[in-house]
Structure 1
Amino acid sequence: MIDFTVIGGPSSEQLAKKIAFKLKSKFIGCELRVFPDGESKITLKGKPSGKILVVQSIYPPVDSNLLRCLAITSQARVFSSQVYVVIPYMGYARQDRQFLPGEITTMELVAKMFKAAGATKIIVVDIHSMIALEHFHIPVKNISAVEELARHFKKMSLNFPLVVSPDKGGVERARNFAEFLGVDYIALEKHRDRKTGNVAIKSKGLEGVRGRDIILVDDMISTGGSIVKAAEFLKKQKSGKVYACCTHSLLIGDAEKNIIRAGVTKIISANTIPGKTSIVDVSPLIAKAIT
């Protein structure tokens, strides 16, 4: 067992405590003060020693949580030459390349900042794009929560379940999820307008959906547009219950309300982002990946 001090950032304190417990390591929390002008001031609640594990998700407010993560990483490097940074949800991973002329590949800058701050290794969970990892010039590891999420559904009483990816890009995730459950899977054909963000399902009527309980699987749910369109489409095919499952549940604005209104029975996610849907614990996966 590697001797770590685990520092829990403000966005991931509870998950960090679980990881520290699994590693039988010392835990240090952070005191956060936000000034009227929006500046963050972070103070470590203890003195770390040995190898250091910083745990801080970069979800909204993304810029604030990113800067806080960098600040903690920089301070951790004062105490140790080995600073592992666990970023359960990596913000900016969707900005991994230029899609339209003039767009900035922000993920490349984020990777440089973590190296400059003193991170010696980065660990993420189900990053949105594997291309994003190519921007890091320090060791980086992506962990999949798919099996843990599937294990949760294995305990449920579902009627002839079918795993569905909202788009072709998630077909491998759906396949892995379905293989663990021992059920079938399909992927819908989705089109997203790069400029407006509007989503449309292009798939025609699908045989074999009628009456079956559906598990809509994605890596993240942000505004919920893709899940809403997929759920409405599947309900028109006379499916059974529809469950939305993801690793990262951002649920921006009225996303949860819109998803339930579209016919989804329940949203189930991992605790990479804290919230009422975040019922699948990924701390064992992270602890195992570190040791």
Structure 2
Amino acid sequence: MTKFTVISGSSSEELAKKLAKKLDANFIKSQLRIFPDGESKITFQKKPQKNKIIVIQSTYPPVDENLIQTLSIISKANEYATEVIAVIPYMGYARQDREFLPGEVITMKVIAKLFKSVGTSRIIVVDIHSMIGLKYFNIKSKNVTAIPDLVKYFAKLKLKNPLVVSPDHGGKERAKEFAKLLKTEYITLEKQRDRKTGKVEIKSTDFDEIIGRDLILVDDMISTGGSIIKATEFLKKQKCARVFVACTHALLRNGAEKKIKNAGVTKIISTNTIPGKTSLVDVSDTIAKAII
């Protein structure tokens, strides 16, 4: 009997299949039916064996639907499993990890309680937006990074004297690690965001080292692309060569991909934590290593 069974939610089926193959595990697909009133009905294709079960599901939009489905799958899996490991490649609500303005609900704290209540033994996430969010989980939790996987992809491209760029100070360590693995330099832009309006501005001065170089804008996630667009427009004024975007989670909402390309980005490269046209980098091996 194999050590693991992998059960996929509908949002991460292809990644789940890859993970099951890496772990030499049984794979069970969960069938999803949405009723006219919006309710979800989930049915396992076959009965799991009595072993460790890995439930894998990203909670990207529709976030609430995917979250409820994930919790439901974990709850059912717990009826069979000796241990349930939740793999949430993209964790929705990770930005709601503290009370920024008076009266705001810390939704990550609520979600952490829900995962524990349905019988999650441990949880694995990929490049969670803030490590503060994981502190709310009173179960074993681990964040793994997709940076080495992304670097491997960029190392194969024929880049002209590449320079890694963080769009803000919050991503400085990410850019530093990316540049270290790619064996090049990095810079950090000065970004300011109005918490009430969401408007973003780049406050950085000119950078002479940008001229004529291919740039890699590195971020953990891209939602509407506002920060990436502002950064690209600024960098293009500094007479750089091409601009690439590397991110773990490409949400790309409200036509973000087209807007980013229109701003001057040559290519967006993301991982398969969220499936899509830009998800060219597989993170199943990284997740498998975190489980074993």
Shorter-chain TM-score: what band? over 0.9
Show the counterpart of 2:231.
Answer: 230
> Where do 1:165-176 residues align within 5 Å?
165-176=166-177
- In the alignment, the residues of structure 2 paired with residue 153 and residue 96 of structure 1 have an alpha-carbon distance, to the nearest angstrom, of 31
Measure how far apart 1:141 and its partner are. Answer: 0.4
Q: How far apart in 1 are the matches of 2:15 and 2:178?
A: 23
Aligned to 2:30: 30
The residue that corresponds to 1:284 in the other structure is: 285
* Secondary structure in structure 1 of the residue aligned to 2:78: helix
1:274 corresponds to: 275
Determine whether 1:97 maps to 2:88: no
Per the alignment, residue 44 of structure 1 pairs with 44
Amino acid at match of 1:28: I
Q: Distance in 1 between matches of 2:36 and 2:195?
A: 36
Give the drift of 1:2.
Answer: 7.2
Contact 2:144 2:287 in 1 (8 A): yes
Structure 2 unmatched ranges of 5 or more: none
Aligned 1:180-191 pairs, distance under 5 A: 180-191=181-192
Secondary structure, counterpart of 1:29 in structure 2: strand
What secondary structure does 2:6 align onto?
strand
Q: Residues of 1 paired with 2:15 and 2:288: CA distance?
A: 11
Q: Measure the CA separation in 2 of the matches of 1:58 and 1:286.
A: 16
* Alpha-carbon distance in 2 for matches of 1:195, 1:165: 23
Contact 2:2–2:26 under 8 Å retained in 1: no
Distance in 1 (CA, whole Å) between partners of 2:28 and 2:233 is 45
Question: Is 1:74 the counterpart of 2:75 in the alignment?
Answer: yes
How far is 1:219 from its partner?
A: 0.2
Paired with 1:51 and 1:199, the residues of 2 have a C-alpha distance of: 45
The answer for the alignment partner of 1:56 in structure 2 is: 57
Aligned to 1:123: 124
Q: Percent identity?
A: 63
Matched position secondary structure for 1:78: coil
1:110 aligned counterpart, secondary structure: helix
Amino acid of the structure 1 residue aligned with 2:31: E
Q: CA RMSD in A?
A: 0.9
Superposed displacement of residue 81, structure 1: 3.1
Is 1:6 equivalent to 2:6 in the alignment? yes
Whole-angstrom distance in 2 between the partners of 1:287 and 1:66? 22
Provide the C-alpha distance between the structure 2 equivalents of 1:146 and 1:2, rounded to a whole number of angstroms: 30
Confirm whether residue 149 of structure 1 aligns to residue 150 of structure 2: yes
Q: Using the alignment, how far apart are the partners of 1:207 and 1:183 within structure 2?
A: 16
What corresponds to 1:198 in structure 2?
199
Query: Which residue of the partner structure matches residue 16 of structure 1?
Result: 16
Q: Distance in 1 between matches of 2:202 and 2:151?
A: 25
Structure 1 Cα separation of the partners of residues 79 and 52 of structure 2: 11
